[in-house]
Amino acid sequence: MRLATFKKGGVHPSDMKSLSNTQPIVRFPIPSELVVSMSQHLGAPATALKAVGDHVSKGEKIGQASGFISADVHSPVDGTVTAIKKVTMANSVCCDALVITPDETQTDPFTERRDYSAMTSADLLAEIKDKGIVGLGGATFPAHVKMTISPGKAVENLVINGVECEPYLTADHRLMLEKPYEVLEGIMICRKILNPTNTIIGIEANKMDAVEVLSKAISEKGYPITVMPLKMKYPQGDEKQLLKSTINREIPSGKLPLDVGAVVVNVGTSYAIFNAIAYAKPLFERVVTVSGECINKPCNLIAPIGTKISDLIAYAGGFKTEPDKLISGGPMMGFAFFDEDTPIAKGTSGILAINDKKSYVKTACLSCGRCVAACPIGLQPTKLYALITNGRYEDAMKNNLMDCKECGCCSYSCPAHLDLVHAFKTGKKMGRKK
């Protein structure tokens, strides 16, 4: 069977999923301390609503969205705020965080299902905003902003992202296997808001069990959803490539999925939306894959935001061998960090402890062209690299540098081990300076 995929560029790293894809999701026990950052999302950090000494209850709003692109933050536990300090998250964002010491006993709210059939799309959107739902695929874009369709635009295709193309990560896979009905109901809620003509779930071929489970649940419930298995290729989970693979539309440069009549939602986000609407549960915990060759017992954990990564690693059995790299996210686009006490956030899909197999020696660019062949956007990384390292930032911007999604396909392919993505990040910062 020929599976759909995108044609231009892309690479095929080994998926390394077998380390954790058979590990069922386990609830991580509440740790002794949580550091909940006010920046759990793209956009402006939330404003803290609590002060030192305040008692907070599980699900209580502790951060207020500040600005159009922002989101609320809710407390993951019943506890006391013991400090407010600056924290540097794995993605280098530095902001205020509430340090919360959880109570000895925790309540268990949000277990009663409510009837939401009377809620209109406006009600649903308001609830999604109120519960702090952001995109859990990694970008953490506030969901209520994404799903507010400006007048004059229509959603033809709702595409659900079950691709999880980053190596090692298995959180979405396990979620689809273990909570298919919940994920599907979340998708149906999105359908009510967006009213699309078609609803498609894109899943890569290394997760055929998830394809089967979801297809079965769909036919049982009679939902108007299609499951589309896709050929494995990185970065298929990126919304541009996903839309190309599923509906064969290419988002123009600088535009959004809505400009090709589509909205893309991650399966984890769908699950969070389901919880928000059916159980009035805010987003304060998520599935995190703790994996890598250096981890003793790779696993998939439901952990509250603000959990220190050192606690997660300890739960996963600690380090088998000393890792070369600690990564928040996936190895292609994730963030390498060094402070083990860094807390996780809504966007933390995985914590990886891996070894760099060789020590890479950087040589000169050979103009081999592999980066050009690998770039899914059709850029010329070698040319951009030469321009940026020579300080010609404006010329780099003229050569479509801003279209670069920093997916890492070029760096992955480079035989000279050039730091291409680093250069592009620098170039973008410098090129945007006036």
Nearest partner of 106 among 275, 300, 304, 278, judged by Cα: 304
Q: Which is nearer to other proteins, 168 or 424 (by Cβ)?
A: 424
Q: Are 33 and 101 in contact (CB under 8 A)?
A: yes
Q: Which is nearer to other proteins, 19 or 420 (by Cβ)?
A: 420
Provide, rounded to whole angstroms, the least separation between the CB of residue 375 and other proteins. 8
Provide, rounded to whole angstroms, the least separation between the CB of residue 16 and other proteins. 21
Alpha helices in 80-179 (DSSP H): 121-130, 143-146, 171-178
CA distance 197 to 185: 17
**Cβ-count burial of 91 within 10 angstroms (0-12 exposed, 13-18 middle, 19+ buried)?**
middle
Q: Which is nearer to other proteins, 317 or 369 (by Cβ)?
A: 369
Query: Got the DSSP string for 40-95?
Result: -SSSSPPEE---TT-EE-TT-EEEE--SSS---EE-SSSEEEEEEEEEE-TTS-EE
Provide, rounded to whole angstroms, the least separation between the CB of residue 205 and other proteins. 22
Nearest partner of 69 among 93, 92, 44, judged by Cα: 44
Provide, rounded to whole angstroms, the least separation between the CB of residue 382 and other proteins. 6
Nearest partner of 57 among 133, 110, 112, 127, judged by Cα: 110
Q: Which is nearer to other proteins, 188 or 373 (by Cβ)?
A: 373
Q: Which is nearer to other proteins, 244 or 281 (by Cβ)?
A: 244
Residue 168, phi-psi category: left (phi > 0), alpha (psi -120 to 50), beta (remainder):
left
CA distance 424 to 388: 7
Can you name the residues that pair with 51 across neighbouring β-strands? Answer: none
Q: Which is nearer to other proteins, 57 or 400 (by Cβ)?
A: 400
Amino acid identity, position 200: I
Q: Which is nearer to other proteins, 247 or 303 (by Cβ)?
A: 247
Provide, rounded to whole angstroms, the least separation between the CB of residue 305 and other proteins. 34
CA distance 395 to 388: 8
Nearest partner of 198 among 256, 155, 153, judged by Cα: 155
Q: Which is nearer to other proteins, 126 or 366 (by Cβ)?
A: 366
Provide, rounded to whole angstroms, the least separation between the CB of residue 364 and other proteins. 4
Provide, rounded to whole angstroms, the least separation between the CB of residue 83 and other proteins. 46
Nearest partner of 201 among 139, 250, 264, 154, judged by Cα: 264
- The residues that touch other proteins, with contacts defined as CB under 8 A, are 8, 240, 244, 249-253, 255, 259-260, 363-369, 372-373, 375-380, 382, 400, 403, 416
Provide, rounded to whole angstroms, the least separation between the CB of residue 354 and other proteins. 24
Query: For tokens 């020929």, what's the residue?
Result: 2
Q: Which is nearer to other proteins, 187 or 333 (by Cβ)?
A: 333
Provide, rounded to whole angstroms, the least separation between the CB of residue 198 and other proteins. 19
Q: Is 355 helix (H, G, I), strand (E, B) or coil?
A: coil
Rg (CA), the chain: 21
